[in-house]
Structure 1
Amino acid sequence: MTHLRALSILLACALLAGCASGPPRRVSEPAASIQQLTVRADGGWTVDLRLQNYSSLPMRFEQVTLEVSVAGEAAGTLQAQPGLTIGPESADVVSVPLTPSAGARMRMADALASGRGIAYRLEGSLDAAPEDRARSRTYTIERNSQLSPVPGLAGVLR
Protein backbone atom coordinates (compact mmCIF):
# COMPACT_ATOMS: atom_id res chain seq x y z
CA MET A 1 0.00 0.00 0.00
CA THR A 2 2.89 2.41 0.79
CA HIS A 3 4.44 1.70 -2.59
CA LEU A 4 1.14 2.51 -4.28
CA ARG A 5 0.83 5.79 -2.35
CA ALA A 6 4.45 6.75 -3.17
CA LEU A 7 3.89 5.89 -6.83
CA SER A 8 0.68 7.98 -6.90
CA ILE A 9 2.46 11.00 -5.36
CA LEU A 10 5.37 10.63 -7.80
CA LEU A 11 2.98 10.43 -10.75
CA ALA A 12 1.03 13.50 -9.56
CA CYS A 13 4.28 15.49 -9.21
CA ALA A 14 5.40 14.45 -12.70
CA LEU A 15 2.05 15.56 -14.17
CA LEU A 16 2.26 18.94 -12.40
CA ALA A 17 5.84 19.46 -13.59
CA GLY A 18 4.73 18.75 -17.18
CA CYS A 19 2.05 21.44 -16.95
CA ALA A 20 4.51 24.08 -15.69
CA SER A 21 6.26 24.46 -19.04
CA GLY A 22 3.37 26.41 -20.62
CA PRO A 23 2.17 26.28 -24.20
CA PRO A 24 4.65 25.21 -26.87
CA ARG A 25 6.60 27.95 -28.69
CA ARG A 26 6.07 27.45 -32.39
CA VAL A 27 7.81 29.65 -34.96
CA SER A 28 6.15 29.36 -38.37
CA GLU A 29 6.99 30.97 -41.68
CA PRO A 30 5.38 34.40 -42.05
CA ALA A 31 3.52 35.47 -45.19
CA ALA A 32 3.04 38.66 -47.17
CA SER A 33 0.27 39.68 -49.55
CA ILE A 34 -1.16 42.84 -51.05
CA GLN A 35 -4.18 43.95 -49.05
CA GLN A 36 -4.81 47.07 -51.14
CA LEU A 37 -3.16 48.81 -54.06
CA THR A 38 -3.93 52.47 -54.77
CA VAL A 39 -2.95 54.14 -58.03
CA ARG A 40 -2.03 57.74 -57.16
CA ALA A 41 -2.65 60.79 -59.40
CA ASP A 42 1.09 60.99 -60.19
CA GLY A 43 1.03 57.42 -61.58
CA GLY A 44 2.81 55.92 -58.59
CA TRP A 45 1.29 53.21 -56.44
CA THR A 46 0.78 52.87 -52.72
CA VAL A 47 0.85 49.21 -51.78
CA ASP A 48 -0.70 48.21 -48.45
CA LEU A 49 1.30 45.10 -47.67
CA ARG A 50 -0.28 42.65 -45.22
CA LEU A 51 2.30 40.89 -43.05
CA GLN A 52 0.96 37.70 -41.47
CA ASN A 53 2.48 36.09 -38.36
CA TYR A 54 1.48 32.41 -38.12
CA SER A 55 3.73 31.77 -35.08
CA SER A 56 2.46 31.14 -31.56
CA LEU A 57 4.56 34.04 -30.21
CA PRO A 58 5.07 37.69 -31.19
CA MET A 59 7.39 38.24 -34.18
CA ARG A 60 9.40 41.33 -35.06
CA PHE A 61 9.30 42.13 -38.81
CA GLU A 62 12.50 43.96 -39.73
CA GLN A 63 12.99 44.00 -43.51
CA VAL A 64 10.87 43.31 -46.60
CA THR A 65 12.21 43.10 -50.15
CA LEU A 66 9.69 41.88 -52.71
CA GLU A 67 9.65 41.95 -56.51
CA VAL A 68 6.14 42.81 -57.70
CA SER A 69 4.63 41.89 -61.04
CA VAL A 70 1.11 42.50 -62.34
CA ALA A 71 -0.44 40.55 -65.21
CA GLY A 72 2.98 39.00 -65.86
CA GLU A 73 4.71 42.40 -66.16
CA ALA A 74 7.51 43.31 -63.72
CA ALA A 75 6.38 46.38 -61.77
CA GLY A 76 9.29 47.04 -59.41
CA THR A 77 10.63 46.26 -55.96
CA LEU A 78 8.85 46.89 -52.68
CA GLN A 79 11.37 47.67 -49.97
CA ALA A 80 10.51 48.47 -46.37
CA GLN A 81 11.94 48.26 -42.90
CA PRO A 82 8.72 48.12 -40.90
CA GLY A 83 10.30 47.57 -37.45
CA LEU A 84 6.92 46.16 -36.51
CA THR A 85 6.06 43.55 -33.88
CA ILE A 86 3.01 41.47 -34.74
CA GLY A 87 1.27 39.38 -32.10
CA PRO A 88 0.81 35.61 -32.25
CA GLU A 89 -1.33 34.39 -35.15
CA SER A 90 -2.12 37.97 -36.18
CA ALA A 91 -1.43 40.34 -39.05
CA ASP A 92 -0.70 44.01 -39.62
CA VAL A 93 -0.40 46.28 -42.64
CA VAL A 94 2.45 48.51 -43.78
CA SER A 95 2.08 51.02 -46.64
CA VAL A 96 4.92 51.03 -49.16
CA PRO A 97 5.22 53.46 -52.09
CA LEU A 98 6.17 52.02 -55.49
CA THR A 99 7.05 53.71 -58.76
CA PRO A 100 5.91 51.04 -61.24
CA SER A 101 7.50 50.28 -64.59
CA ALA A 102 5.81 51.73 -67.68
CA GLY A 103 4.57 48.28 -68.75
CA ALA A 104 3.03 47.54 -65.34
CA ARG A 105 1.45 50.99 -65.28
CA MET A 106 -0.18 50.27 -68.67
CA ARG A 107 -1.48 46.85 -67.54
CA MET A 108 -2.94 48.39 -64.39
CA ALA A 109 -4.58 51.25 -66.34
CA ASP A 110 -6.13 48.74 -68.74
CA ALA A 111 -7.52 46.62 -65.88
CA LEU A 112 -8.96 49.68 -64.11
CA ALA A 113 -10.46 51.11 -67.31
CA SER A 114 -12.22 47.83 -68.09
CA GLY A 115 -13.31 47.32 -64.46
CA ARG A 116 -11.70 43.89 -64.17
CA GLY A 117 -9.27 42.36 -61.74
CA ILE A 118 -5.57 41.80 -62.26
CA ALA A 119 -3.22 39.01 -61.22
CA TYR A 120 -0.17 39.84 -59.14
CA ARG A 121 2.94 38.05 -57.95
CA LEU A 122 5.24 38.78 -55.00
CA GLU A 123 8.65 37.15 -54.87
CA GLY A 124 11.47 37.94 -52.48
CA SER A 125 12.31 37.85 -48.80
CA LEU A 126 11.13 38.93 -45.39
CA ASP A 127 13.36 39.17 -42.31
CA ALA A 128 11.65 38.37 -39.01
CA ALA A 129 12.49 37.08 -35.54
CA PRO A 130 10.69 36.15 -32.34
CA GLU A 131 10.38 39.28 -30.21
CA ASP A 132 12.75 37.91 -27.57
CA ARG A 133 15.59 37.03 -29.97
CA ALA A 134 18.19 39.43 -31.32
CA ARG A 135 18.95 37.77 -34.67
CA SER A 136 16.38 37.65 -37.41
CA ARG A 137 15.92 34.95 -40.01
CA THR A 138 15.28 35.49 -43.71
CA TYR A 139 12.15 33.83 -45.07
CA THR A 140 11.45 33.33 -48.78
CA ILE A 141 8.15 34.77 -49.97
CA GLU A 142 6.34 33.64 -53.12
CA ARG A 143 2.73 34.68 -53.55
CA ASN A 144 0.38 34.61 -56.53
CA SER A 145 -3.03 36.20 -56.13
CA GLN A 146 -5.59 38.53 -57.65
CA LEU A 147 -6.67 42.12 -57.02
CA SER A 148 -10.13 43.44 -57.90
CA PRO A 149 -11.31 47.04 -58.33
CA VAL A 150 -13.16 48.48 -55.33
CA PRO A 151 -16.58 49.82 -56.39
CA GLY A 152 -16.88 53.55 -55.76
CA LEU A 153 -13.14 54.06 -55.14
CA ALA A 154 -11.35 55.05 -58.35
CA GLY A 155 -7.87 53.60 -58.69
CA VAL A 156 -8.18 51.27 -55.69
CA LEU A 157 -7.90 47.48 -55.89
CA ARG A 158 -8.19 44.87 -53.12
Structure 2
Amino acid sequence: MHRTSLTRLDARLLAAAVLSGLFVTSVPAAYAAEQDWYSRSTPLTAVEDGEAQALAYGTSYTKDGYLKNHTYYRDPRAGGDAVYTETGYTYFAPDQDGGSSWSEYGDSDQSDRSSSGAWVDQYDKDDYSSSHSDADKGRVHSKVCEDQDWSPDACSRRPFFTFTL
Protein backbone atom coordinates (compact mmCIF):
# COMPACT_ATOMS: atom_id res chain seq x y z
CA MET A 1 0.00 0.00 0.00
CA HIS A 2 2.80 2.43 0.81
CA ARG A 3 4.36 1.67 -2.59
CA THR A 4 1.10 2.54 -4.39
CA SER A 5 0.82 6.00 -2.74
CA LEU A 6 4.47 6.70 -3.57
CA THR A 7 3.78 5.76 -7.19
CA ARG A 8 0.75 8.07 -7.26
CA LEU A 9 2.85 10.88 -5.82
CA ASP A 10 5.53 10.23 -8.44
CA ALA A 11 2.85 10.25 -11.15
CA ARG A 12 1.44 13.56 -9.86
CA LEU A 13 4.92 15.11 -9.73
CA LEU A 14 5.65 13.85 -13.22
CA ALA A 15 2.32 15.20 -14.51
CA ALA A 16 3.00 18.58 -12.89
CA ALA A 17 6.46 18.69 -14.44
CA VAL A 18 5.08 17.80 -17.88
CA LEU A 19 2.29 20.39 -17.63
CA SER A 20 4.68 23.11 -16.51
CA GLY A 21 7.00 22.13 -19.36
CA LEU A 22 4.12 22.44 -21.83
CA PHE A 23 3.25 25.86 -20.45
CA VAL A 24 6.82 27.10 -20.76
CA THR A 25 7.25 25.77 -24.29
CA SER A 26 3.91 27.18 -25.42
CA VAL A 27 5.08 30.77 -24.86
CA PRO A 28 5.77 32.19 -28.34
CA ALA A 29 9.50 32.51 -29.06
CA ALA A 30 8.70 35.66 -31.03
CA TYR A 31 8.04 37.52 -27.76
CA ALA A 32 11.59 37.00 -26.53
CA ALA A 33 13.89 39.93 -25.77
CA GLU A 34 16.26 38.68 -28.49
CA GLN A 35 15.67 36.63 -31.64
CA ASP A 36 18.26 35.28 -34.08
CA TRP A 37 17.00 35.11 -37.66
CA TYR A 38 18.56 32.87 -40.26
CA SER A 39 22.32 32.14 -40.03
CA ARG A 40 25.59 32.37 -41.94
CA SER A 41 25.14 28.80 -43.20
CA THR A 42 21.41 29.24 -44.06
CA PRO A 43 20.95 32.97 -44.74
CA LEU A 44 17.85 34.90 -45.77
CA THR A 45 18.17 35.01 -49.56
CA ALA A 46 16.95 37.31 -52.32
CA VAL A 47 16.46 35.18 -55.44
CA GLU A 48 15.88 36.19 -59.04
CA ASP A 49 15.64 33.78 -61.97
CA GLY A 50 16.53 30.92 -59.61
CA GLU A 51 19.84 32.52 -58.58
CA ALA A 52 20.81 34.00 -55.19
CA GLN A 53 21.26 37.77 -55.47
CA ALA A 54 21.75 38.85 -51.82
CA LEU A 55 22.25 37.11 -48.45
CA ALA A 56 21.65 38.18 -44.83
CA TYR A 57 21.22 36.95 -41.26
CA GLY A 58 21.13 38.65 -37.89
CA THR A 59 19.64 39.24 -34.47
CA SER A 60 16.69 41.45 -33.53
CA TYR A 61 16.28 42.57 -29.92
CA THR A 62 15.10 45.20 -27.43
CA LYS A 63 17.50 47.21 -25.30
CA ASP A 64 17.30 50.47 -23.35
CA GLY A 65 14.07 51.70 -24.98
CA TYR A 66 15.07 50.71 -28.52
CA LEU A 67 14.12 47.99 -30.95
CA LYS A 68 17.41 46.98 -32.56
CA ASN A 69 18.57 44.86 -35.45
CA HIS A 70 22.13 43.63 -35.97
CA THR A 71 22.51 42.32 -39.52
CA TYR A 72 25.24 40.72 -41.57
CA TYR A 73 24.79 40.86 -45.34
CA ARG A 74 26.82 40.09 -48.45
CA ASP A 75 26.76 39.73 -52.22
CA PRO A 76 26.95 36.04 -53.17
CA ARG A 77 28.26 37.14 -56.59
CA ALA A 78 30.91 39.61 -55.43
CA GLY A 79 31.40 42.58 -57.71
CA GLY A 80 27.90 42.42 -59.18
CA ASP A 81 25.07 44.81 -58.39
CA ALA A 82 25.32 46.11 -54.81
CA VAL A 83 23.19 44.56 -52.06
CA TYR A 84 21.59 46.13 -48.99
CA THR A 85 19.36 45.31 -46.04
CA GLU A 86 16.20 47.10 -44.97
CA THR A 87 14.83 47.06 -41.44
CA GLY A 88 11.31 48.22 -40.67
CA TYR A 89 9.62 48.82 -37.32
CA THR A 90 5.90 48.64 -36.50
CA TYR A 91 4.09 49.03 -33.17
CA PHE A 92 0.94 47.69 -31.52
CA ALA A 93 -0.61 50.69 -29.77
CA PRO A 94 -3.95 52.28 -28.91
CA ASP A 95 -5.82 53.53 -31.98
CA GLN A 96 -8.47 56.19 -32.61
CA ASP A 97 -11.32 53.69 -32.19
CA GLY A 98 -10.48 52.95 -28.56
CA GLY A 99 -8.83 49.59 -29.35
CA SER A 100 -5.29 48.72 -30.30
CA SER A 101 -3.82 47.90 -33.69
CA TRP A 102 -0.52 47.49 -35.51
CA SER A 103 0.82 50.66 -37.11
CA GLU A 104 0.61 50.29 -40.87
CA TYR A 105 3.87 52.05 -41.57
CA GLY A 106 6.65 52.36 -39.04
CA ASP A 107 10.09 53.81 -39.39
CA SER A 108 12.57 52.02 -41.64
CA ASP A 109 16.28 52.14 -42.36
CA GLN A 110 18.45 50.85 -45.20
CA SER A 111 22.08 49.84 -44.94
CA ASP A 112 24.86 51.09 -47.16
CA ARG A 113 25.16 49.33 -50.52
CA SER A 114 27.92 46.73 -50.84
CA SER A 115 29.05 44.42 -53.62
CA SER A 116 31.57 42.70 -51.34
CA GLY A 117 31.62 38.93 -51.06
CA ALA A 118 32.56 39.33 -47.37
CA TRP A 119 29.92 39.69 -44.64
CA VAL A 120 29.23 43.35 -43.81
CA ASP A 121 27.98 44.48 -40.36
CA GLN A 122 24.90 46.68 -40.07
CA TYR A 123 23.13 48.04 -36.98
CA ASP A 124 19.68 49.64 -37.08
CA LYS A 125 17.55 50.89 -34.20
CA ASP A 126 14.29 52.67 -33.48
CA ASP A 127 13.59 54.58 -30.26
CA TYR A 128 10.17 53.38 -29.09
CA SER A 129 10.51 54.86 -25.60
CA SER A 130 9.82 58.39 -26.86
CA SER A 131 8.06 58.11 -30.23
CA HIS A 132 5.95 55.02 -29.44
CA SER A 133 5.81 55.08 -25.63
CA ASP A 134 2.16 53.98 -25.59
CA ALA A 135 2.89 50.78 -27.57
CA ASP A 136 2.55 47.35 -25.93
CA LYS A 137 4.52 45.46 -28.57
CA GLY A 138 6.92 46.19 -31.39
CA ARG A 139 8.00 44.32 -34.49
CA VAL A 140 11.30 44.27 -36.33
CA HIS A 141 10.95 43.41 -40.05
CA SER A 142 14.09 42.52 -42.07
CA LYS A 143 14.84 41.89 -45.71
CA VAL A 144 17.85 41.82 -48.03
CA CYS A 145 17.83 43.09 -51.61
CA GLU A 146 19.97 43.54 -54.68
CA ASP A 147 19.92 47.15 -55.87
CA GLN A 148 19.05 47.06 -59.58
CA ASP A 149 19.13 50.17 -61.77
CA TRP A 150 16.71 49.20 -64.53
CA SER A 151 14.20 46.91 -62.81
CA PRO A 152 12.61 46.48 -59.39
CA ASP A 153 15.11 45.35 -56.76
CA ALA A 154 15.30 41.61 -56.17
CA CYS A 155 14.34 41.22 -52.49
CA SER A 156 13.95 38.37 -50.03
CA ARG A 157 10.81 37.65 -48.10
CA ARG A 158 10.39 39.95 -45.07
CA PRO A 159 10.34 37.97 -41.80
CA PHE A 160 9.49 39.80 -38.59
CA PHE A 161 9.78 39.24 -34.86
CA THR A 162 7.44 40.61 -32.19
CA PHE A 163 8.70 41.91 -28.85
CA THR A 164 6.86 42.94 -25.69
CA LEU A 165 7.87 46.51 -24.84
Radius of gyration: which is bigger?
1
TM-score (norm 2): 0.40
TM-score (norm 1): 0.41
